Structure 1
Amino acid sequence: MDRQQEFVLRTIEERDVRFIRLWFTDVLGVLKSVAIAPAELEGAFAEGIGFDGSSIEGLTRVYEADMLVKPDPSTFQVLPWRGEANSVARMFCDVLTPLGEPARSDPRNVLKRALAKAADAGFTFYTHPEIEFYLFEKPASLDAPLVPIDTAGYFDHVARGTAHDFRRDAITTLESMGISVEFSHHEAGPGQNEIDLRYADALSMADNIQTFRTVVKEVALRQDVLATFMPKPLAEAPGSGMHTHMSLFEGDRNAFYDPAGEFQLSGTARAFIAGLLRHAAEITAVTNQYVNSYKRLWGGGEAPSYVCWGHNNRSALVRVPMYKPEKGGSARIEYRGLDSAANPYLAFAVILAAGLKGIEEGYELPEGADDDVFAMTRAERKALGIQELPNSLHEAISIMESSELVAETLGEDTFEFFVRNKRTEWEEYRSQVTSYELHRFIPSL
């Protein structure tokens, strides 16, 4: 037994932990868990805990149902909202086959494979997400109108506002679990908030995002409000994105930094951006996986609709932020396409794969966009070679289906399930008769 496992067992005894929740994620990014007693933990570390994998979205086929979850002791944390008496802890798990091999459709394993490929090239991938979400008054039913908890806007300070207390409670909970928060504020939409997590390696960050969503939901229950990461819950307000800053490191050196480069970007960073731009349309179904995601992408509010990059240009898909020139370690790029409902494991995997492809193939970075891309005419964008992101889940899936890069990154099983699931979602969505259609056409047709 290694030191981390010994630490976990000792902490469980010292803090009187009565239940350990083993967390893992399905292909769509939905958190799953199974609870075990402390007496079962040594066996879980050694051999894993069995479960029916065919009952989990996209994980395996019926005739391969038996699967194992094996806890990662480095992710052990006591859940603060469950109290001190008879406390509950959690660990993220890797999903394995009965032979102890990584399950091909485990999203955590998909990201691990992508990170291993980066490591083979000498890189470590770091990310820093800005996670947006909405807070609404608790509705009586799903049919009731959504009422934001406030009417505040970007960076507004609301005296005794519910959002202040909510963010403070959420951040306190996150930090008690070892998840560092950089800052938080009210966002542009009524009831919309943002909390930014501090830089971490991509696997740790994906785990942190899953914990973040759970914490936000738990705090919402405690404060009797509704929290949602739906990309576009209000037609007239901005959607919720997850703008993600990222960089590659070679040991302790930021591979994106070159003091002599334009905007102090290295050739590695420029090729990485070029990879993101060339493959942006292919990965959009993963970074924006719901029919509602495209109402955010094409609904204004600084959501990126066009494939371009720019220095400190918030209308671009990829932005090169300003930073202190003397701090080369802070050189980074920001991918603005992600929304807050994405599966972070799969999204980080395909983003990394696209960037690495640019580096491997030596892609040339096109000219950056200096002006507001939204304000340009279609002809102006065409003249600059600026293409559009997919405008619907149907289009995104159609493009992704022919992508060798996404298929290779996700693996055959995950890729096939994801496409099949999203095609079903699109068919269910487009077959609906909406209230808009009834109000628009019944009186006149």
Structure 2
Amino acid sequence: MAATHTDSGSPCMVSVEAGSYRVSRPQSARDVIDLIGKHDIVIVDLKFTDLPGQWQHFSITLPEVHEELFDAGIGFDGSSIRGFQEIHESDMLLRPDPATAFVDPICETPTLSLICDVVDPVLHQPYSRDPRYVAKKAETYLRQTGIATTCYFGPELEFFIFDSIRFGQDPHSGYYFVESAEGEWNTGRDEGAYGGGNLGYKQRYKEGYFPVPPHDTLQEIRSEIVLTLQQAGVRVEVHHHEVATAGQNEIDMRFSTLTRMADNVMIYKYVCKNVARRHGKVATFMPKPLFADNASGMHCHQSLWNDERNLFYDANGWALTSDLCRWYIGGLLHHAPALMAFCAPTTNSYKRLVPGYEAPVNLAMSQRNRSAAARIPMYSDSPNARRVEFRCPDPSANAYLAFAAMLMAGLDGIENRIDPGDPLDRNIYDLPPEEASGIRQVPGSLEAALDALETDYAFLRKGDVFTDDVIQTWIDYKRRHEIEPIRLRPHPWEFYLYFDV
């Protein structure tokens, strides 16, 4: 996880070092105002994240952009944002973070985007339910523990690009319909209506990993996404087609610090969706949109550093890892059932977390083995490359909350020296039943994960990183808006199973 990088093409003004990764970004309101003039900006877009994890925004004109904006903030209606305020306490403030400024590569009108923090105007304090504030508090708490100065995250977000998607449900019908020219189900389709005959190059189920064009029809779109991300100041390492048929993809960003990486995840989703739309296609980060093929995960590489020293490395340790690294893994595995409430936070997430689709349902650690929940990548023996890859999260997660929760679980593991158990360097899915039965597994549903969070959240409360209000609001929102509505509605497969009873 070591690199030196200077993004000469990004609109940045001050060089900042973080470990061995160097980025340059505006650091003050004056820097941002100078940037606006340099790029002939005419609109400034203010972006922030709601509790479930989607970007919200509104735009302001140049007369409204001045240095006081970055201290005083600008008002908005918090009662209209999911998971935020009630109607009788709706007034909230957005405070732009100068270090997040980027010339928006999606907008045709010259636009500068700023990621904002949410402020309570009555308390004159950061808003407790602002996901970005939770992430910032986690980084502050890390430094307060004295264990490390920095936590780096490198998530691998997988996603699908479809040609079209239709779905709907009402009292007398319910359906979804996915279409993709790559889908194996289209090998027999008459494609004359699509501009030519059927050329036959379709991705077979579970065989979408790495074939070149013409099987991979999305090479150029992914390249465009990568170049657009770089315009937004996000460094990218690699892109490729993923395992599933019908357009599953992965684009890997360079690691960064916790909050900054969560910012980059939001930019990543924004760019992927909008570039796909330019091409008349649709990108989705829904974990399991297709039956009988692999789902989309968000494997999270993470490590702790003291300035320039990687604390997860030990030349004499198992898989070149330190005791501190293994205790961190112990914390992730011990608290995994509760973590899933933030890391796999949708009912659809648990259609991914089943055996047989490379999904890490078993709470064990390993080196190289992708069937384990916690893996030590072995591509390099460099001290800087030593890290843990936690494979349970998926891209439906709110990155600010998920990253913060993982860090807190790992720190709890270090503070309590939690033993992760013996490594399992075999295919866990092929273990004899008597061995497999002794391995803990992730929850089987969102409801079970929320139940686990209700009984195991003290580790999140340390340093007031997650407040009781945030945790309870999250649980209540998920139950009321996701679990209960799905429980009320018939599933199409139930008609197949039960219509003739």
TM-score range, shorter chain: over 0.9
Q: Distance in 1 between matches of 2:362 and 2:303?
A: 22
CA RMSD for the aligned pairs? 1.6
| SS state at 1:439 partner | helix
Structure 2, unmatched stretches of 5+, are: 1-25, 169-174, 183-201
Q: Kindly indicate whether the alpha-carbon contact (under 8 Å) linking 1:283 and 1:406 is maintained by their aligned counterparts in 2.
A: no
- 2:296 corresponds to: 240
**Residue 40 in 1 paired to residue 97 in 2?**
no
- Deviation at 1:92? 0.6
| SS state at 2:160 partner | strand
Greater shift, 232-241 or 139-148, is seen at 139-148
**Residue 250 in 1 paired to residue 306 in 2?**
yes
Percent identity, aligned pairs only?
37
**Residue 428 in 1 paired to residue 428 in 2?**
no
Match of 1:87, as an amino acid?
P
Pairing of 1:6-155 with structure 2 (within 5 A)? 6-42=30-66, 43-83=68-108, 86-98=109-121, 99-120=123-144, 121=146, 122-139=148-165, 143=175, 145-150=177-182, 151-152=202-203, 153-155=208-210
Match of 2:406, as an amino acid?
I
Change (3 A) 1:359 1:136: same
- 2:439 corresponds to: 386
| SS state at 1:307 partner | coil
Match of 1:401, as an amino acid?
E
Q: Kindly indicate whether the alpha-carbon contact (under 8 Å) linking 1:354 and 1:405 is maintained by their aligned counterparts in 2.
A: no
Pairing of 1:164-175 with structure 2 (within 5 A)? 164-175=219-230
Question: 1:267-286 CA distances to partner (integer Å, 9 max, x unpaired)?
Answer: 11011001111111111111
Q: Distance in 2 between matches of 1:270 and 1:141?
A: 44
TM-score, normalised on structure 2?
Answer: 0.85
Q: Distance in 2 between matches of 1:125 and 1:438?
A: 49
- Deviation at 1:405? 3.1
Change (3 A) 1:225 1:18: same
Q: Distance in 2 between matches of 1:29 and 1:404?
A: 20
Residue of structure 1 aligned with 2:427, choices 372, 380, 399 = 372
| SS state at 1:387 partner | coil
Q: Distance in 1 between matches of 2:411 and 2:388?
A: 14
Match of 1:96, as an amino acid?
V
TM-score, normalised on structure 1?
Answer: 0.95
Q: Distance in 1 between matches of 2:135 and 2:86?
A: 21
Q: Kindly indicate whether the alpha-carbon contact (under 8 Å) linking 1:323 and 1:331 is maintained by their aligned counterparts in 2.
A: no
Q: Kindly indicate whether the alpha-carbon contact (under 8 Å) linking 2:48 and 2:56 is maintained by their aligned counterparts in 1.
A: yes
Q: Kindly indicate whether the alpha-carbon contact (under 8 Å) linking 1:58 and 1:414 is maintained by their aligned counterparts in 2.
A: no
Q: Kindly indicate whether the alpha-carbon contact (under 8 Å) linking 2:166 and 2:177 is maintained by their aligned counterparts in 1.
A: no
- 2:16 corresponds to: none
- 2:405 corresponds to: 350
Pairing of 1:176-187 with structure 2 (within 5 A)? 176-187=231-242
- Deviation at 1:416? 1.2
Residue of structure 2 aligned with 1:202, choices 253, 258, 278 = 258
Q: Distance in 1 between matches of 2:395 and 2:302?
A: 16
Q: Kindly indicate whether the alpha-carbon contact (under 8 Å) linking 1:317 and 1:335 is maintained by their aligned counterparts in 2.
A: yes
- Deviation at 1:179? 0.4
| SS state at 1:398 partner | helix
Change (3 A) 1:50 1:179: same
Q: Kindly indicate whether the alpha-carbon contact (under 8 Å) linking 1:406 and 1:415 is maintained by their aligned counterparts in 2.
A: no
- How many residues matched? 438
Q: Distance in 1 between matches of 2:155 and 2:420?
A: 24
More helix by share: 1
Q: Kindly indicate whether the alpha-carbon contact (under 8 Å) linking 1:310 and 1:319 is maintained by their aligned counterparts in 2.
A: yes
**Residue 360 in 1 paired to residue 415 in 2?**
yes
Q: Distance in 2 between matches of 1:268 and 1:33?
A: 40
Match of 1:386, as an amino acid?
I
